[in-house]
Structure 1
Amino acid sequence: MTDQTIQIPRQVTTDSFRTMMSGFPTGVCVVTTTDSAGTPRGMTCSSVCSVSLEPPILLVCLRSGSPTLDGVLRSGSFAVNLLHEGAQAAAELFASGNPHRFQIHPWEETPGAAGPHLVKDAHTIADCDVVLTQEVGDHVTVFGEARRISERNPYPPLLYGLRQFRTWSTT
Protein backbone atom coordinates (compact mmCIF):
# COMPACT_ATOMS: atom_id res chain seq x y z
CA MET A 1 0.00 0.00 0.00
CA THR A 2 1.35 3.41 -0.92
CA ASP A 3 0.85 6.62 0.98
CA GLN A 4 -1.25 8.95 -1.17
CA THR A 5 -1.77 12.60 -0.40
CA ILE A 6 -5.33 13.69 -0.89
CA GLN A 7 -5.59 17.07 -2.57
CA ILE A 8 -8.38 19.18 -1.14
CA PRO A 9 -9.75 21.38 -3.90
CA ARG A 10 -9.34 25.06 -3.21
CA GLN A 11 -12.42 27.19 -2.91
CA VAL A 12 -13.75 28.55 -6.18
CA THR A 13 -13.28 32.30 -6.43
CA THR A 14 -15.03 34.75 -8.72
CA ASP A 15 -11.83 35.09 -10.73
CA SER A 16 -11.24 31.34 -11.09
CA PHE A 17 -14.86 30.78 -12.15
CA ARG A 18 -14.69 33.66 -14.65
CA THR A 19 -11.45 32.24 -16.07
CA MET A 20 -12.97 28.79 -16.42
CA MET A 21 -16.05 30.12 -18.20
CA SER A 22 -13.96 32.30 -20.53
CA GLY A 23 -12.68 29.03 -22.00
CA PHE A 24 -16.20 28.18 -23.16
CA PRO A 25 -16.84 30.33 -26.26
CA THR A 26 -20.35 31.50 -26.94
CA GLY A 27 -22.36 33.68 -29.27
CA VAL A 28 -23.02 37.31 -28.40
CA CYS A 29 -26.36 39.10 -28.30
CA VAL A 30 -27.84 42.34 -27.07
CA VAL A 31 -31.05 41.94 -25.09
CA THR A 32 -33.33 44.97 -25.49
CA THR A 33 -36.63 46.14 -24.08
CA THR A 34 -38.38 49.36 -23.08
CA ASP A 35 -39.08 50.46 -19.54
CA SER A 36 -42.43 51.68 -18.20
CA ALA A 37 -41.70 55.21 -19.49
CA GLY A 38 -40.94 53.91 -22.99
CA THR A 39 -37.18 54.43 -22.62
CA PRO A 40 -35.12 51.85 -24.55
CA ARG A 41 -32.94 49.59 -22.44
CA GLY A 42 -30.36 47.02 -23.48
CA MET A 43 -27.29 45.07 -22.47
CA THR A 44 -24.80 42.70 -24.04
CA CYS A 45 -25.45 39.11 -23.07
CA SER A 46 -23.58 35.90 -23.80
CA SER A 47 -25.80 33.80 -21.54
CA VAL A 48 -28.48 32.81 -24.02
CA CYS A 49 -29.68 29.30 -24.72
CA SER A 50 -32.50 27.45 -26.44
CA VAL A 51 -34.74 25.57 -24.02
CA SER A 52 -37.63 24.11 -26.01
CA LEU A 53 -38.83 23.82 -29.60
CA GLU A 54 -42.50 23.28 -28.73
CA PRO A 55 -43.20 25.96 -27.69
CA PRO A 56 -40.14 27.93 -28.87
CA ILE A 57 -38.55 28.97 -25.57
CA LEU A 58 -35.11 30.48 -24.95
CA LEU A 59 -33.46 31.84 -21.85
CA VAL A 60 -31.25 34.81 -21.12
CA CYS A 61 -29.43 35.55 -17.86
CA LEU A 62 -29.48 39.22 -16.90
CA ARG A 63 -27.64 40.92 -14.05
CA SER A 64 -29.82 41.61 -11.01
CA GLY A 65 -30.53 45.29 -10.56
CA SER A 66 -29.83 46.22 -14.18
CA PRO A 67 -32.17 48.72 -15.87
CA THR A 68 -32.56 46.21 -18.71
CA LEU A 69 -33.78 43.48 -16.35
CA ASP A 70 -36.16 45.96 -14.71
CA GLY A 71 -37.56 46.89 -18.13
CA VAL A 72 -37.96 43.23 -19.12
CA LEU A 73 -39.79 42.41 -15.90
CA ARG A 74 -42.09 45.44 -16.15
CA SER A 75 -42.88 45.13 -19.88
CA GLY A 76 -43.07 41.34 -19.94
CA SER A 77 -41.16 41.20 -23.22
CA PHE A 78 -37.70 41.53 -24.74
CA ALA A 79 -35.82 41.23 -28.01
CA VAL A 80 -32.73 39.10 -28.49
CA ASN A 81 -30.46 40.67 -31.11
CA LEU A 82 -27.99 37.94 -32.17
CA LEU A 83 -24.93 39.90 -33.28
CA HIS A 84 -23.02 39.26 -36.49
CA GLU A 85 -19.25 39.31 -36.98
CA GLY A 86 -19.13 43.05 -37.74
CA ALA A 87 -20.91 44.09 -34.55
CA GLN A 88 -18.10 44.05 -31.99
CA ALA A 89 -18.47 47.82 -31.42
CA ALA A 90 -22.15 47.33 -30.56
CA ALA A 91 -21.31 44.47 -28.19
CA GLU A 92 -18.72 46.61 -26.41
CA LEU A 93 -21.01 49.65 -26.21
CA PHE A 94 -23.93 47.71 -24.74
CA ALA A 95 -21.57 46.02 -22.26
CA SER A 96 -20.07 49.35 -21.18
CA GLY A 97 -22.93 50.70 -19.09
CA ASN A 98 -22.92 53.94 -21.11
CA PRO A 99 -26.33 55.50 -20.30
CA HIS A 100 -26.47 57.16 -23.75
CA ARG A 101 -26.00 53.99 -25.81
CA PHE A 102 -29.34 54.35 -27.59
CA GLN A 103 -28.59 57.99 -28.46
CA ILE A 104 -25.25 57.13 -30.08
CA HIS A 105 -26.03 53.77 -31.71
CA PRO A 106 -28.62 53.17 -34.47
CA TRP A 107 -31.68 51.10 -33.69
CA GLU A 108 -35.24 50.74 -34.94
CA GLU A 109 -38.57 50.52 -33.21
CA THR A 110 -40.38 47.96 -35.32
CA PRO A 111 -44.19 47.68 -34.94
CA GLY A 112 -45.00 44.75 -32.67
CA ALA A 113 -41.38 44.38 -31.54
CA ALA A 114 -40.62 43.29 -27.99
CA GLY A 115 -37.72 45.75 -27.77
CA PRO A 116 -35.46 47.89 -29.93
CA HIS A 117 -33.98 46.12 -32.94
CA LEU A 118 -30.30 46.61 -33.74
CA VAL A 119 -30.91 45.94 -37.44
CA LYS A 120 -27.41 46.84 -38.65
CA ASP A 121 -25.71 44.65 -36.03
CA ALA A 122 -27.92 41.56 -35.73
CA HIS A 123 -27.98 38.59 -38.04
CA THR A 124 -31.23 37.44 -36.42
CA ILE A 125 -33.66 39.00 -33.93
CA ALA A 126 -36.16 37.14 -31.75
CA ASP A 127 -39.04 39.01 -30.12
CA CYS A 128 -40.01 37.18 -26.93
CA ASP A 129 -42.65 37.26 -24.21
CA VAL A 130 -41.55 36.46 -20.66
CA VAL A 131 -42.99 33.13 -19.46
CA LEU A 132 -40.89 32.51 -16.34
CA THR A 133 -38.13 34.10 -14.26
CA GLN A 134 -35.79 32.55 -11.71
CA GLU A 135 -33.37 34.47 -9.50
CA VAL A 136 -30.05 32.63 -9.25
CA GLY A 137 -27.08 34.24 -7.50
CA ASP A 138 -26.43 37.73 -8.87
CA HIS A 139 -28.48 37.17 -12.04
CA VAL A 140 -32.05 36.45 -13.05
CA THR A 141 -32.76 33.78 -15.64
CA VAL A 142 -35.55 34.98 -17.91
CA PHE A 143 -37.37 32.44 -20.05
CA GLY A 144 -39.00 33.89 -23.13
CA GLU A 145 -41.32 32.42 -25.74
CA ALA A 146 -40.31 33.60 -29.20
CA ARG A 147 -43.28 35.15 -30.95
CA ARG A 148 -41.42 36.45 -33.99
CA ILE A 149 -38.03 35.78 -35.56
CA SER A 150 -36.52 38.17 -38.10
CA GLU A 151 -33.48 37.17 -40.11
CA ARG A 152 -31.66 40.41 -40.89
CA ASN A 153 -28.13 39.92 -42.24
CA PRO A 154 -26.45 36.89 -43.82
CA TYR A 155 -23.21 37.42 -41.89
CA PRO A 156 -21.66 34.81 -39.54
CA PRO A 157 -22.18 35.25 -35.78
CA LEU A 158 -19.94 37.17 -33.42
CA LEU A 159 -18.35 34.90 -30.81
CA TYR A 160 -16.79 35.58 -27.41
CA GLY A 161 -14.32 33.40 -25.53
CA LEU A 162 -10.99 33.71 -23.73
CA ARG A 163 -12.05 37.34 -23.11
CA GLN A 164 -11.83 38.11 -26.83
CA PHE A 165 -14.28 38.63 -29.67
CA ARG A 166 -13.83 36.37 -32.68
CA THR A 167 -15.69 35.51 -35.85
CA TRP A 168 -16.87 32.17 -37.13
CA SER A 169 -14.20 30.68 -39.36
CA THR A 170 -14.98 28.10 -42.02
CA THR A 171 -11.33 27.25 -42.65
Structure 2
Amino acid sequence: MARLGAAVNIIVTDGAAGRHGMTASAVCSVSDSPASLLLCINKSARMHDVLKDNGQLTVNVLAGGQAGLSGTFADKNLDMDARFAAADWTMLGHGVPALTGALAAFGCTIASVVEMGSHSIFLCEVQHLLIGGEEPGLVYFDRQYHALPMRAAA
Protein backbone atom coordinates (compact mmCIF):
# COMPACT_ATOMS: atom_id res chain seq x y z
CA MET A 1 0.00 0.00 0.00
CA ALA A 2 3.02 2.31 0.33
CA ARG A 3 2.97 2.63 -3.47
CA LEU A 4 -0.58 4.01 -3.43
CA GLY A 5 -0.06 7.75 -3.00
CA ALA A 6 -2.79 9.81 -1.33
CA ALA A 7 -3.61 13.26 -0.02
CA VAL A 8 -2.92 13.75 3.69
CA ASN A 9 -5.86 14.77 5.87
CA ILE A 10 -6.55 15.40 9.52
CA ILE A 11 -9.95 14.06 10.52
CA VAL A 12 -11.51 15.65 13.60
CA THR A 13 -14.76 15.03 15.41
CA ASP A 14 -16.49 16.61 18.37
CA GLY A 15 -19.76 15.94 20.14
CA ALA A 16 -21.24 13.93 22.99
CA ALA A 17 -18.52 11.26 22.72
CA GLY A 18 -15.77 13.90 22.95
CA ARG A 19 -13.22 15.58 20.73
CA HIS A 20 -10.78 13.46 18.76
CA GLY A 21 -8.48 13.79 15.77
CA MET A 22 -6.20 11.65 13.64
CA THR A 23 -4.21 11.71 10.42
CA ALA A 24 -5.72 9.77 7.52
CA SER A 25 -4.93 9.23 3.87
CA ALA A 26 -7.82 6.83 3.10
CA VAL A 27 -10.21 9.62 2.06
CA CYS A 28 -11.78 10.27 -1.32
CA SER A 29 -14.75 11.94 -2.98
CA VAL A 30 -17.87 9.91 -3.68
CA SER A 31 -20.32 12.27 -5.36
CA ASP A 32 -20.94 15.94 -6.02
CA SER A 33 -24.72 15.60 -5.64
CA PRO A 34 -25.02 15.24 -2.77
CA ALA A 35 -21.49 16.37 -2.03
CA SER A 36 -19.99 13.41 -0.21
CA LEU A 37 -16.74 11.80 0.87
CA LEU A 38 -15.72 8.43 2.17
CA LEU A 39 -13.07 7.64 4.71
CA CYS A 40 -11.75 4.34 5.99
CA ILE A 41 -10.92 3.96 9.68
CA ASN A 42 -9.45 0.88 11.36
CA LYS A 43 -11.92 -0.58 13.85
CA SER A 44 -9.12 -0.79 16.45
CA ALA A 45 -8.36 2.97 16.23
CA ARG A 46 -9.50 5.07 19.19
CA MET A 47 -11.12 7.44 16.70
CA HIS A 48 -13.43 4.74 15.28
CA ASP A 49 -16.05 4.54 18.04
CA VAL A 50 -15.84 8.23 18.91
CA LEU A 51 -16.56 9.08 15.29
CA LYS A 52 -19.50 6.68 15.10
CA ASP A 53 -20.98 8.05 18.33
CA ASN A 54 -20.56 11.72 17.38
CA GLY A 55 -21.94 11.25 13.86
CA GLN A 56 -20.09 14.29 12.51
CA LEU A 57 -16.57 15.22 11.47
CA THR A 58 -14.37 17.60 9.54
CA VAL A 59 -11.93 16.41 6.87
CA ASN A 60 -9.04 18.90 6.77
CA VAL A 61 -6.93 18.59 3.59
CA LEU A 62 -3.33 19.46 4.46
CA ALA A 63 -1.06 21.88 2.62
CA GLY A 64 2.51 21.04 1.68
CA GLY A 65 3.97 22.79 4.72
CA GLN A 66 1.82 20.91 7.24
CA ALA A 67 3.66 17.56 7.34
CA GLY A 68 4.69 18.23 10.95
CA LEU A 69 1.07 18.64 11.97
CA SER A 70 0.26 15.36 10.24
CA GLY A 71 2.89 13.71 12.44
CA THR A 72 1.42 15.32 15.54
CA PHE A 73 -2.04 13.88 14.84
CA ALA A 74 -0.54 10.47 14.03
CA ASP A 75 1.44 10.32 17.30
CA LYS A 76 -0.31 7.79 19.53
CA ASN A 77 1.66 9.08 22.55
CA LEU A 78 0.06 12.54 22.40
CA ASP A 79 -3.27 13.14 24.08
CA MET A 80 -6.00 15.07 22.29
CA ASP A 81 -5.36 18.33 24.14
CA ALA A 82 -1.71 18.31 22.96
CA ARG A 83 -2.70 17.46 19.40
CA PHE A 84 -5.28 20.23 19.14
CA ALA A 85 -2.99 22.75 20.86
CA ALA A 86 -0.46 22.31 18.03
CA ALA A 87 -2.65 24.23 15.54
CA ASP A 88 -5.17 27.03 15.19
CA TRP A 89 -8.83 26.14 14.65
CA THR A 90 -12.05 27.79 13.56
CA MET A 91 -15.53 26.42 14.17
CA LEU A 92 -17.68 25.26 11.26
CA GLY A 93 -21.47 25.50 11.34
CA HIS A 94 -21.92 21.87 12.40
CA GLY A 95 -19.94 22.39 15.62
CA VAL A 96 -16.73 20.58 14.64
CA PRO A 97 -13.48 22.54 14.32
CA ALA A 98 -11.70 23.18 11.02
CA LEU A 99 -7.94 23.56 10.76
CA THR A 100 -6.78 27.08 9.98
CA GLY A 101 -4.46 26.93 6.98
CA ALA A 102 -5.87 23.71 5.53
CA LEU A 103 -6.37 23.68 1.76
CA ALA A 104 -10.00 22.73 2.36
CA ALA A 105 -12.13 21.72 5.32
CA PHE A 106 -15.20 19.58 4.66
CA GLY A 107 -17.71 19.62 7.52
CA CYS A 108 -19.69 16.40 7.28
CA THR A 109 -22.37 14.28 8.87
CA ILE A 110 -22.06 10.51 8.68
CA ALA A 111 -24.72 9.11 6.34
CA SER A 112 -23.80 5.44 6.71
CA VAL A 113 -21.09 3.07 7.83
CA VAL A 114 -20.07 -0.10 5.96
CA GLU A 115 -17.95 -2.76 7.67
CA MET A 116 -15.16 -4.27 5.53
CA GLY A 117 -12.55 -6.49 7.12
CA SER A 118 -10.48 -4.62 9.69
CA HIS A 119 -11.94 -1.22 8.72
CA SER A 120 -15.18 0.70 8.58
CA ILE A 121 -16.01 2.81 5.56
CA PHE A 122 -17.71 6.03 6.63
CA LEU A 123 -19.88 7.62 3.93
CA CYS A 124 -20.23 11.29 4.79
CA GLU A 125 -22.39 14.09 3.41
CA VAL A 126 -20.69 17.49 3.21
CA GLN A 127 -22.69 20.15 5.06
CA HIS A 128 -20.07 22.91 5.28
CA LEU A 129 -17.04 23.85 3.21
CA LEU A 130 -14.13 26.13 3.97
CA ILE A 131 -11.61 26.74 1.16
CA GLY A 132 -8.05 27.71 2.10
CA GLY A 133 -5.21 29.33 0.21
CA GLU A 134 -3.46 28.47 -3.03
CA GLU A 135 -0.64 26.41 -1.57
CA PRO A 136 0.85 23.10 -2.71
CA GLY A 137 -0.98 20.00 -1.48
CA LEU A 138 0.57 17.32 0.74
CA VAL A 139 0.66 13.69 -0.35
CA TYR A 140 2.06 10.57 1.27
CA PHE A 141 3.84 8.17 -1.08
CA ASP A 142 6.44 5.45 -0.48
CA ARG A 143 6.39 6.21 3.27
CA GLN A 144 7.38 9.85 2.72
CA TYR A 145 5.62 13.20 2.54
CA HIS A 146 5.77 15.13 -0.74
CA ALA A 147 4.53 18.64 -1.46
CA LEU A 148 2.82 18.80 -4.84
CA PRO A 149 4.09 21.50 -7.18
CA MET A 150 1.79 24.42 -7.84
CA ARG A 151 -0.08 24.54 -11.11
CA ALA A 152 2.00 26.19 -13.86
CA ALA A 153 0.67 29.48 -15.19
CA ALA A 154 -0.97 29.12 -18.61
Is this a same-fold pair by TM over 0.5?
yes
Q: Which runs of 5+ in 1 are unaligned?
A: 1-20
Indicate the structure with greater strand content.
2
Distance 1:50 1:102 in 2: 26
Between Structure 1 and Structure 2, how many residues are aligned?
149
In structure 2, relative to structure 1, the CA distance for the partners of 1:133 and 1:114 (3 Å cut) is: farther
Could you tell me whether the CA contact under 8 Å between 1:107 and 1:116 is conserved in 2? no
Distance 1:57 1:109 in 2: 21
Q: Find the counterpart in structure 1 of residue 70 from structure 2.
A: 91
- Aligned to 2:9, which of 29, 32, 55? 29
Q: Find the counterpart in structure 2 of residue 44 from structure 1.
A: 23
What RMSD in Å do the two structures reach over aligned CA positions? Answer: 1.8
Q: 1:156, CA displacement in angstroms? A: 1.5
AA in 2 matched with 1:124: A
Please give the secondary structure, in 1, of the residue aligned with 2:98: coil
Larger radius of gyration: 1
Task: Give TM-score, length-normalised by structure 1.
Answer: 0.79
Q: Which runs of 5+ in 2 are unaligned?
A: none
Distance 2:28 2:84 in 1: 29
Distance 1:114 1:63 in 2: 24
In structure 2, relative to structure 1, the CA distance for the partners of 1:82 and 1:103 (3 Å cut) is: closer
Query: Does residue 66 of the first structure (1) align with residue 51 of the second (2)?
Result: no
Query: Does residue 102 of the first structure (1) align with residue 83 of the second (2)?
Result: yes
Could you tell me whether the CA contact under 8 Å between 2:40 and 2:121 is conserved in 1? yes
Please give the secondary structure, in 1, of the residue aligned with 2:99: coil
Q: Percent identity?
A: 26
Q: Find the counterpart in structure 2 of residue 55 from structure 1.
A: 34
Distance 2:110 2:8 in 1: 20
